[in-house]
Structure 1
């Protein structure tokens, strides 16, 4: 059994509440959208993960507010 240690977690808030999260682990920055059973993808930097999360929001959505937990 393998385990992954989460190094940091950011929650993304849109105008109607939580829209997704970014988890930093040994593999990179993992984006998961709210309501999804699977990660959207893993990215090499926090900036690219934030951009990817925003690109998976509804067209015309404002940039979300990211809060580290």
Structure 2
């Protein structure tokens, strides 16, 4: 069982590439496309590879062996 990390969404949503950059999983937004091709990302139980996918409060994302729960500010 992994520890669930809480990520606070500032505003209505954050895109998947913005999230990966903010969590220092990638160093630039341009790397998102390549990262998502090579690394599995699970959003709400389903595979996700669209870097522009909007992540909102209530979503749960599994990436890089970590689980993130998105909450409103």
TM-score (norm 1): 0.32
- Whichever of the two has the greater Rg, that structure is 1
More helix by share: 2
